[in-house]
């Protein structure tokens, strides 16, 4: 791919999210805040959670790349805001984890980045995703889900729960008090090693769109409120 005139290629590393260096094309006159947004998206991290650094200096977002004398093929670094420059406090895939786990997470991180899905890594074994049904009574409501991985993943199923009790959907297959998802996919007998974090993301959306009213472990809270919710849109309730 031919570069635009007056642009340069920079390398950007991140201590969270996708930790592999990414090559990003930049205009020297580009606002650093805008450039950081692109870097954060490339590394699958929240833009507001990180700062951009060059030679151990935090770059001010209202300035331009050329103001810092940044040149072609130089390396910049994204670090969490609460500890800029500290490389020991955050994970690097491959550190103390089995090689197979590190390879798998690195590969899945790239897949998530390429698809621009709302999935964020807090560390190699802890992930957050935001899910939203595209149809049905739960359509239009965004929910936050926690995915916890064992370092034997993908041979062991992840633990999947809705994060906030206040924002857990009133749903027959989701326990409102704990956020636990009763879904065959996440049980040991239903999980398969070829499933991925992206599979989990779409699986949760599918469950929101296709509630199982015949589940043999019914959600008592849901049963109690369902009659009142008929004809309306069930979203979230505080219990």
pLDDT digits (tens, 9 = 90+) for 11-23: 999 877 777 889 9
CA gap 108, 98 in Å, rounded = 16
CATH of 99-229, one of 3.10.20.80, 3.10.110.10, 3.40.50.460, 3.40.50.300: 3.10.110.10
Cis, bond preceding 160 (omega within 30 deg of 0) = no
SS3 103: helix
> What are 140's two structure tokens?
């239009």
* 122-181 per-position pLDDT tens digit: 888 999 999 988 888 888 888 889 999 998 999 999 999 988 655 677 777 777 777 788
- What CATH code would you report for 8-80? 3.10.20.90
> What are 201's two structure tokens?
């993301």
Ordered strands of the 57-58 beta sheet: 22-26, 8-14, 75-80, 50-54, 57-58
Confidence band for 215, pLDDT divided at 50, 70 and 90: low
CA gap 146, 90 in Å, rounded = 19
Q: List every span in the chain annotated with CATH 3.10.20.90.
A: 8-80
pLDDT of the residue at 134: 86
**CA angle, 85 then 79 then 25, to 5°:** 115
Residue appearing with tokens 């507001």? 48
Residues 6+ apart with CB under 8 A from 236: 141, 143, 166, 167, 168, 169, 170
CA gap 187, 172 in Å, rounded = 17
Q: List every span in the chain annotated with CATH 3.10.110.10.
A: 99-229
pLDDT of the residue at 95: 58
pLDDT of the residue at 235: 43
CA gap 164, 146 in Å, rounded = 9
Residues 6+ apart with CB under 8 A from 50: 14, 16, 36, 40, 78, 79, 80, 81
Residue of higher predicted confidence among 87 and 28: 28
């Amino acid at each position: 791919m031919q570069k635009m005139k007056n642009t340069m290629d920079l390398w950007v590393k991140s201590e969270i999210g996708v930790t592999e260096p990414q090559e990003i094309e930049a205009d020297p006159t580009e606002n650093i805040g805008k450039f950081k947004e692109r870097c954060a998206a490339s590394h699958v991290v929240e833009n507001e959670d990180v700062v951009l650094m060059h030679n151990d200096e935090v770059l001010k977002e209202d300035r331009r790349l050329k103001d810092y004398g940044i040149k072609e093929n130089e390396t910049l670094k994204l670090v969490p805001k609460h500890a800029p420059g500290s490389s020991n406090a955050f994970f690097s895939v491959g550190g103390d984890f089995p090689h197979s786990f590190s390879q798998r997470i690195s590969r899945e991180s790239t897949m998530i980045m390429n698809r621009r899905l709302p999935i964020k890594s807090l560390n190699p074994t802890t992930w957050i995703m935001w899910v939203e049904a595209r149809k049905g009574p739960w359509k239009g409501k965004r929910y936050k889900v926690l995915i916890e991985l064992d370092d034997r993943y993908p041979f062991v199923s992840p633990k999947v729960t809705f994060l906030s009790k206040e924002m857990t959907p009133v749903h027959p297959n989701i326990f409102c008090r704990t956020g636990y998802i009763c879904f065959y996919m996440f049980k040991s007998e239903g999980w398969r090693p070829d499933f991925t974090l992206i599979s989990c993301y779409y699986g949760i959306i599918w469950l929101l769109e296709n509630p199982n009213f015949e589940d043999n472990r019914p959600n008592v809270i849901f049963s109690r409120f369902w009659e009142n919710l008929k004809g309306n849109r069930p979203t979230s309730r505080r219990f």
